[in-house]
Amino acid sequence: MATIDEFKAQLIGGGPRANRFRVFLPRAGANIEFLAQGASIPAATIPSFDVKFRGATLKLAGDRTYEDWTVTVINDLEFSTRSAMEQWQGEIQAYDGGDASLTNDYLLSRAFVEQLGKDDGVLARYEFFNMFPTTIGSIELSFDQADQLETFELTFAFSHWERTL
């Protein structure tokens, strides 16, 4: 049976903290590195499928899938990140019609989220490849929210992530 001291010994440096992170999205006008209020490290799933053989079932690994990546952004007075995302989505498909991009140039080659230590050193880095914004979330407006900053969520689809650190 483990003791509290053995447990404590496993939490080197007090353990990683969910509020110590950095998001980088190299897209012109997107100040997301400073305005990201929340982010995630998306799950990767390898589903299984069944193969029947003489009354027995063999489970085999299927193809890996990745959950979409969601980032919560604090809006600024210039709407800089939101405007950049709206422009990006406009490049994918026009807002005033069905005209869509004829190339894959809208795919961002890479972005990343880093888990930071208490000293701001990078503990882990996850890079996202071939991504684009699928959803620019709503900004909720209300007289009841006098002492809060505006936020909205961005959701990105991507081909895969790699842990690079």
Q: What is the CATH number of the domain that holds 39?
A: 2.30.110
Q: Residue 72 sits in which domain range? A: 18-45+56-163
27-86: per-residue pLDDT in tens? 867 778 899 999 999 999 999 999 999 999 999 999 999 999 999 999 999 999 999 999
Is residue 132 in some structural domain? Answer: yes
Neighbours of 41 (CB within 10 A): 15
Those residues whose C-beta lies under 8 Å from the C-beta of residue 17, and which sit 6 or more positions away, are 118
- pTM of the predicted structure, to 2 decimals: 0.91
Has residue 11 been placed in a domain?
Answer: no
Overall domain count for the chain: 1
